[in-house]
């Protein structure tokens, strides 16, 4: 008596399961057209919000920082879909300055082809190919960099990272200034890096889906990443054959995608 009820129940459950799976697949397969992808960079320090000039942060070596500036360049965005296909955002439009002090922490990439994107690759800084186009080849980005304290001079090049503030330590008891300016200085000291981040949830793009990718940024990694940088040893790092490449490597560790918001917004 029990068996004749169980079999129809199982059959009905299987139909419901496969119908649901098919429906999900259809939603992905039906993605078409194009739309914008927004990327929000949420700057923090070791799990805490980044509050410029009004909070202190302690490194593992007991140095205590007050951060007054965190600006960095991100560039050359590539979106990677579930099948491993890559969409490269137009290179000439792919350079952005993230500036906490100017409240400029979100970028917008328009006209992204429809798809289910599961990863993203981007550069930290300005690559040599772009720089070698000369001042005229930079477009309006050169002026934006100058206005945001992201240039030394045209010959010296861009600052990929401008990280400043004050610190104290066991040996430095009165607040002292620190300045970390990272860039590339010819082919012998090319600190341009690329990083790939996985998306915890697919970013869905279509005519009526315009996702926001929320990237968590941990500025603590710059000095307290795989390479430990002691400000008490050297508080101003600009062109340093040892520490500059170490900081550049640390910078690749400070990005992760916290979550993705697949909003139904049309933003062509």
Per residue in 201-229, pLDDT (tens digit) is: 999 999 999 999 999 999 999 999 999 99
Instruction: Using the predicted structure, report yes or no on whether residue 4 has a pLDDT greater than 70.
Output: no
Q: Are 235 and 178 in contact (CB under 8 A)?
A: yes
Beta bridge partners, 217, equal 43, 255
Tell me how far apart the alpha carbons of residues 214 and 259 are, in angstroms, rounded to a whole number: 5
Cβ-based neighbours of 3, under 8 Å, separated by 6 or more: none
Q: Which run of H or of E encompasses 173?
A: none
Confidence of residue 263 (pLDDT cuts 50, 70, 90): confident
**pTM for the whole structure:** 0.87
pLDDT for 25: 46
Which tens digit of pLDDT belongs to each residue from 153-180? 888 899 999 999 999 999 999 999 999 9
pLDDT for 5: 43
Tell me how far apart the alpha carbons of residues 48 and 57 are, in angstroms, rounded to a whole number: 9
Instruction: Using the predicted structure, report yes or no on whether residue 6 has a pLDDT greater than 90.
Output: no
Which tens digit of pLDDT belongs to each residue from 229-244? 999 999 999 989 999 9
pLDDT for 239: 87
- Calculate mean pLDDT across residues 110-127: 97
Which of the two residues, 118 and 152, has the higher pLDDT score? 118
Tell me how far apart the alpha carbons of residues 54 and 68 are, in angstroms, rounded to a whole number: 8
Confidence of residue 10 (pLDDT cuts 50, 70, 90): very low
Q: Are 105 and 42 in contact (CB under 8 A)?
A: yes
Percentage, residues of the chain above pLDDT 90:
80
- Calculate mean pLDDT across residues 66-73: 98
**Alpha helix (H) residue ranges in the chain:** 3-29, 128-131, 141-147, 221-224, 243-251
What is the DSSP secondary structure assignment for residue 108, as one 8-state letter? E
Structure tokens at 244: 């500059």
**Least trusted range by pLDDT, from 3-7, 109-113, 129-133:** 3-7
């Amino acid at each position: 008596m029990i068996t004749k009820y169980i079999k129809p129940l199982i059959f009905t459950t299987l139909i419901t399961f496969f119908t649901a799976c098919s429906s999900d697949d259809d939603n992905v397969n039906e993605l078409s057209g194009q739309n914008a992808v927004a990327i929000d960079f949420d700057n923090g320090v070791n799990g805490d919000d980044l509050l410029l000039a009004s909070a202190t942060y302690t490194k593992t070596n007991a140095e205590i920082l007050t951060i007054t500036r965190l600006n960095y360049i991100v560039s050359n965005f590539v979106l990677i879909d579930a099948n491993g296909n890559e969409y490269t955002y137009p290179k000439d439009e792919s350079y952005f300055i993230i500036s906490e002090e100017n409240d400029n922490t979100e970028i917008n990439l328009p006209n992204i082809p429809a798809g289910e994107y599961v990863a993203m690759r981007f550069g930290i800084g300005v690559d040599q190919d772009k720089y070698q186009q000369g001042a005229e080849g930079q477009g309006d980005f050169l002026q934006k960099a100058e206005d945001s304290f992201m240039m030394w001079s045209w010959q010296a090049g861009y600052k990929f990272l401008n990280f400043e503030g004050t610190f104290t330590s066991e040996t430095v008891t009165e607040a002292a200034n620190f300045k970390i300016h990272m860039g590339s200085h010819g082919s012998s000291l090319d600190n341009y890096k690329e990083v790939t981040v996985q998306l915890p949830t697919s970013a869905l793009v279509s005519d009526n889906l315009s996702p926001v990718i929320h990237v968590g940024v941990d500025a603590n990694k710059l000095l307290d990443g795989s390479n430990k940088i002691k400000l008490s040893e050297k508080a101003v790092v600009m062109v340093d054959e040892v520490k500059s490449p170490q900081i550049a490597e640390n910078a690749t560790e400070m990005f992760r995608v916290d979550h993705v918001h697949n909003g139904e917004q049309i933003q062509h």
